[in-house]
Amino acid sequence: MKEEIIDLENCAREPIHIPGAIQPHGVLLVMSEPDLDVVQVSENVENFLGLTPEQLFEHGLGCFLTREQMERVAFAFSSGDPREHNPVHLQLPCLKPNTSLDAVVHRHDGFCLLELEPTSPPSTLYFRDFYKTVSKATSKLQTASTLQQVLESAAVEFRQITGFDRVMIYRFAPSGEGEVVAESKVDEAEPYLGLWYPASDIPEQARRLYVLSPIRCIVQVPYTPAQLTPAINRVTMQPTDLSFAGLRSVSPVHREYLVNMSVTASMSVSIVREGKLWGLVSCHHFSERFVPFETRNACIFLGQVLSGEITRREVEEEAAFSAKAIGLQAKFLELMTSAANPLLGLVTGSPNLLDLIPAGGAAVVCGDKFQAVGITPGYEEVLGIVRSLSEGGMPSSFSTQALKNQMPIPRSLQVIASGVIALQIAREPLSYVLFFRPEVAQTVKWGGDPNKPVTMSDDGFRLSPRKSFAVWQETVEGTALPWTPNEVRVADELRKLILAVTSKAAPL
């Protein structure tokens, strides 16, 4: 039997911004500007308003809105950004028992989109208490001592505001995988804290939408989408872009994924840093859950506060590291200028190289001279590394978290020197400063098998969420903790300092 090749890019190419359907707990109308003629409507409109799509196409908004309600909608769409008027309070009666509808509006691609969703007018007391809750949550984030405490507080506060059974803070790694770094949950829920999920779980086009639209809610995961009618926008003859529609139907692959986690309702709030998706606030509920617009708005606001606090804490950590490095470099200058061999002074004196950059060991090699601090390979092994780097044309400031990818090295060497920063000082005699990081026991707890993103169906293989969420372990051999951009930058600054000193000193 011929082995079938599975194209894992299929999921990443899924056009989730133009699903042609919405979640069935509300109604969507797509209207042309400026006359607000209805050009598309969700097929479930009759269930809510008792009107057929054809009646709406012929008579427009006037067949179910009063003159006052029409004026409110028109006023919102006449402004520069209709979203500033959300929600548009209509208190529109509908066929659903004990339900009235308000509107959420936005403009996109030259069309006015009006979403009707259930509402129940909160009391003044509700608003006052809710304001206190959001203010308290904001204060908790802003006064947390560390970044980890910020994340843990965020999980707790989001759960208190929304009432979801589980709230996770999910952080993306540079390579695309994600880790649950904080969690607040009901006691009976399975803990996900510390689990990693493969990059394929949230494909690239979904991440782009998370940056564009800061919140996404699924009221009831097992639903039948309400299709737009007509399916193609009769003005553009193209599917309507629903990127910013709160009712937008979500990928069936994602819905199946949630079903396999026993999740019935979900909400995700984007955590964006400097225009890039840092992570998500991921909320799960084990029964149907509708989140009112005001609560969603509060979550967006709190997500922005969280994004700001993450940025602030990371910037503070980077600034503190840089300030410490500047102070150490001044001391290194004194050590080098007073030592017979400037390079050797970096490891024999105090402070030494390990005070500058966190590492398992550091060494200098200068011709036949060698000095080390911490746990490092021996002289012959270090000499072999620097010769390979020099002859291989590597940059003068070189860093890697997996030296095995650059040159063949024995398993015994990987254990203590998987990660390397190598600073070339001179070619004759061959002179280097090196930092070594040991292989990290990078035992990652995967939420499902990252190597099995497909499943067998009746008609063959297809891309699918994993059917099991058992913890799988994958140990990465020969890989160290990555060097941060700050550490690489400080190392390069050290090289420049050494060159400035050695150019004025006697030959090495």
Amino acid letter at 112?
C
Q: Which among 442, 454, 488 has a CA at the least distance from the CA of 179? A: 442
- Give the pLDDT mean for 315-319: 90
Q: Where are the domains of the chain?
A: 339-439+478-502
The pLDDT of residue 10 is 52
pLDDT of 119 reads 85
CB contact burial 9-32 (16+ within 10 A = b; e otherwise): eebeebebbebbbbbbbbbbbbbb
Whether pLDDT at 442 is above 60:
yes
DSSP codes of every residue in 60-73: GGGGTS-HHHHHHH
Q: How far is CA 113 from the centre of its chain?
A: 28
Q: Which of 55-59, 131-135, 145-149, 150-154 has the lowest mean pLDDT?
A: 131-135
CA distance 274 to 398: 27
Q: What is the pLDDT of residues 55-75, one digit of tens each?
A: 999 999 999 999 999 999 999
What are 172-189's pLDDT values in tens digits?
Answer: 988 788 999 999 999 999
Predicted confidence (pLDDT) at residue 456 exceeds the cutoff of 70: no
At CB < 8 A and 24+ separation, what contacts does 33-39 make? 33/77, 33/107, 33/110, 33/111, 33/112, 34/77, 34/78, 36/60, 36/61, 36/73, 36/74, 36/77, 36/112, 39/111, 39/233, 39/234, 39/235
- DSSP annotation string for 425-465: EEETTEEEEEEEEPPP-EEEEEES-TT--EEEETTEEEE--
Residue type, 310: I
Higher pLDDT, 468 or 149: 149
Contact status, residue 243 vs residue 212, Cβ threshold 8 Å: yes
The label of the residue with tokens 């269930």 reads: 47
The predicted structure's pLDDT at residue 71? 95
User: Which residues, at least 6 apart from 78, have a Cβ–Cβ distance to it below 8 Å?
Assistant: 34
Give pLDDT tens digits for 239-276: 999 999 999 999 888 898 898 889 999 999 999 999 99
CA-CA-CA-CA torsion sign (489, 490, 492, 496): positive
Question: How high is the pLDDT of residue 6?
Answer: 40
For the record, the structure tokens of 233 come out as 């926008």
Average pLDDT score over residue span 450-454: 72
- The C-alpha R_g of the chain, in whole angstroms, comes to 29
* Residue 132 confidence (pLDDT): 86
- The topology (CATH level 3) of 339-439+478-502 is Beta-Lactamase (3.30.450)
Digit-coded pLDDT (tens) for 373-421: 999 999 999 999 999 999 988 999 999 999 999 999 999 999 999 999 9
Using 50, 70 and 90 to split pLDDT, how confident is the model at 463?
low
pLDDT in tens, 86-131: 999 999 999 988 889 999 999 999 999 999 999 865 545 456 677 8
Secondary structure class of 33 (helix, strand, coil) = coil
Name the DSSP class of 473: E
Residue 462 pLDDT: 57
- pLDDT value, residue 127: 62
Cα separations (Å) of 310 from 28, 211, 380?
36, 16, 44
DSSP string across 150-201: HHHHHHHHHHHHH--SEEEEEEE-TTS-EEEEEEEE-TTSPP-TT-EE-GGG
Report which of 158, 156, 206, 151 is spatially closest to residue 179, judged by C-alpha positions.
Answer: 151
Q: How sure is the predictor about 300, in pLDDT bands with cuts at 50, 70 and 90?
A: very high
Confidence check: pLDDT of 278 > 80: yes
Quote the Cα angle for 72-42-223, to 5°: 120
Q: What is the pTM of this model?
A: 0.83
Mean pLDDT of 219-241: 95
